[in-house]
């Protein structure tokens, strides 16, 4: 992986395709949710859901990046595990801070993160199952 790449490549092309599909579908769903919530008079909730989707995309990008480093042999399992724990801690702190700062609607950022993760799993499950069966 070079420094100028925007998205990390993996040794399993189907994982990368699933990740790209999740980015596109997740972005589209986040935009529709934001516009829809703005239309019905809840722009702050729409912005929080949109921010949650952005955090979910950042998290999944970091997962794919760590997986590519692990599969390429440039990082060990312990190093990848520590980086993953730190990433999840950052994500958790950000989500809790936003949820507390924007009470009572702040918890809706979790809907964005969870929605993006569901989209990611749905877009990746079939290609991953094909790879496992090989």
Q: Where do the structural domains in the chain lie, given as residue ranges?
A: 13-129
Q: Is pLDDT at 2 greater than 60 in this prediction?
A: no
Task: Give yes or no for a contact between 43 and 102, defined as CB atoms under 8 angstroms apart.
Answer: no
pLDDT band at 45 (very low <50, low <70, confident <90, very high): very high
Rounded Cα gap, residues 49 and 19, in angstroms:
20
Task: Give yes or no for a contact between 99 and 106, defined as CB atoms under 8 angstroms apart.
Answer: yes
| List of residues 6+ apart from 8 with CB closer than 8 A | 1, 16, 61, 64, 65, 68
pLDDT reported for residue 38: 94
Per-residue model confidence as pLDDT tens digits over 4-44: 454 455 555 656 677 788 888 888 999 999 999 999 999 99
pLDDT reported for residue 79: 77
pTM for the predicted model, two decimal places: 0.77
**Sign (positive or negative) of CA dihedral 127, 128, 129, 134:** positive
Looking at residues 57-75, what average pLDDT do you find? 78
Rounded Cα gap, residues 94 and 91, in angstroms:
5
Range 119-133 burial, b when 16+ CB lie within 10 A, else e: bbeebbeebeeeeee
Q: How many CB atoms lie within 10 A of CB 10?
A: 21
Tokens at 80, concatenated: 């990848």
pLDDT band at 75 (very low <50, low <70, confident <90, very high): low
pLDDT reported for residue 66: 77
């Amino acid at each position: 992986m070079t420094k100028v790449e925007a998205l990390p490549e993996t040794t399993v092309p189907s994982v990368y395709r699933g990740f790209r599909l999740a980015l596109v579908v997740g972005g589209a769903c986040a935009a529709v949710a934001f516009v829809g919530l703005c239309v019905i008079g809840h722009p702050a909730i729409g912005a929080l859901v949109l921010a949650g989707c952005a955090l979910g995309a950042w998290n999944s990008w970091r997962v794919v990046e760590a997986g590519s480093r692990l599969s390429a042999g440039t990082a060990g399992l312990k190093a990848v595990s520590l980086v993953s724990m730190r990433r999840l801690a950052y994500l958790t702190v950000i989500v809790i801070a936003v949820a507390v700062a924007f009470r009572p609607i702040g918890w809706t950022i979790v809907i964005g993160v969870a929605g993006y993760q569901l989209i990611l799993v749905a877009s990746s499950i079939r290609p991953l199952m094909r790879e496992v069966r090989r």
